[in-house]
Amino acid sequence: MDIETFVERSIGEWRSQRSAHHLAFGHFEEVRSTINIESLTVDTPGVLDLCQRYEVSPEHIVSPFKMTWEGESDWDEDEVMAGSTILIPVPDSATTGKLLREQGYAETMEAMGSYCLTDDGTFILTTAYDRAAAEEKIWFATPNLRFRVSLIKTSSGKGVTTASFSSEVRRGVKS
Amino acid sequence: MDIETFVERSIGEWRSQRSAHHLAFGHFEEVRSTINIESLTVDTPGVLDLCQRYEVSPEHIVSPFKMTWEGESDWDEDEVMAGSTILIPVPDSATTGKLLREQGYAETMEAMGSYCLTDDGTFILTTAYDRAAAEEKIWFATPNLRFRVSLIKTSSGKGVTTASFSSEVRRGVKS
């Protein structure tokens, strides 16, 4: 599977159940959310801005997309967590590349991660931040069901502080 | 990684956090448990019995082990879920084989599944039952932290009814 196919299969509205495990304390957190993924054209202003900030030529990007989410955590039911961000794959081979991510209007920060696609169709993204690193694995069980495992690691990459698992079911379709 | 190495890395006592997602209803379930994995010798009576029932020659098995667990679900805190079972890998190549599982004294049923080990060290087990199928992926993030994603599928293998995620931290060691 190449990144274009992976993004194309992800387009749509998804109902997500996410469980976070805070490993040191054995805490659980449950989040329900709706995630919307839509494709963008290369000439969308936000896409060109992000390319410019990372000095990437728009000719080298493929399948830019926008992700919007709105969710509720069981830790604070009054707080609605919502956000939106633009993501841009920059392939450097059929199965590897960089992923640029816009700051968006929520808590995300601008970042560039490295991705690869494994033989069994799993998308793996690793992103290094100042004080932490993130690893995300996303794969499809069926065309209408995606899973996502996200790890927050210490900056050395050796320890894992939080592991979370999301089941994402395409809206309007039974899993 | 071969199956002997995988089993060897799994030996020990683990503190597990498991989140189950019941997909059709969007329900969450949280389970905390302790899992103990210990190696057995080929001549342990339970091992020989299981080999005999599946007509497998003890010469063809490797790394038999016993798994014991004791846990609590948030669905019914009074019910302690405990069990124990013997598992026996029967390799048919360096990275693939069968896994025999004893009925044990809890709710598990006797079964033979097929496993493979992927290039990135993930153990994948698929087991077919009369009315359902199960798929389990287990991988190590660090020597002291394992993750496990388990899917319960319809017998056709096309739909997924329950997806669960476990974080397993070796006891007495910080993740």
Q: What CATH number does residue A51 fall under?
A: 2.40.128.20
Q: How confident is the model at residue A120 (pLDDT cuts 50, 70, 90)?
A: confident
* A126-170 residue pLDDT tens: 998 888 899 999 999 999 999 999 999 987 777 999 999 999 999
Rounded to two decimals, the ipTM of the complex is 0.88
Residue B25 forms part of a structural domain? yes
Residue A80 forms part of a structural domain? yes
Q: What share of chain A is helix, strand, coil (3-state, %, to 5)?
A: 10, 55, 30
Query: Which residue in the set B23, B32, B169 is minimally distant from A175, CB to CB?
Result: B23
Å from B40 to nearest chain A CA? 30
Residue B175 forms part of a structural domain? no
Spell out which chain A residues touch chain B, with contact meaning CB-CB distance below 8 angstroms.
Answer: 15, 17, 19, 21, 23-24, 26, 28, 30, 32, 118-120, 141-142, 145, 147, 149, 151, 158-161, 163, 165, 167, 169, 174-175
Residue A73 forms part of a structural domain? yes
Residue found under tokens 């048919």: B92
Q: What is the SS3 assignment for A53?
A: helix
Question: Which tokens in the block code for residue A131?
Answer: 């004080």
Residue B121 forms part of a structural domain? yes
Per DSSP, B49 falls in state: H
Element (H, E) at A49: helix A45-53
* A55-90 residue pLDDT tens: 999 999 999 999 999 998 777 766 778 889 999 999
Question: Which tokens in the block code for residue A160?
Answer: 């894992």
* A4-33 residue pLDDT tens: 999 999 999 999 999 999 998 899 999 999
Query: By the 8 A CB rule, do A92 and A64 touch?
Result: no
Residue A175 forms part of a structural domain? no
- Domain of B56? 3-170
Residue B75 forms part of a structural domain? yes
Nearest CA in chain A to B168: A23
Residue A118 forms part of a structural domain? yes
Distance, CA of B79 to CA of A99 (rounded, Å): 46
Q: How many domains does chain A have?
A: 1
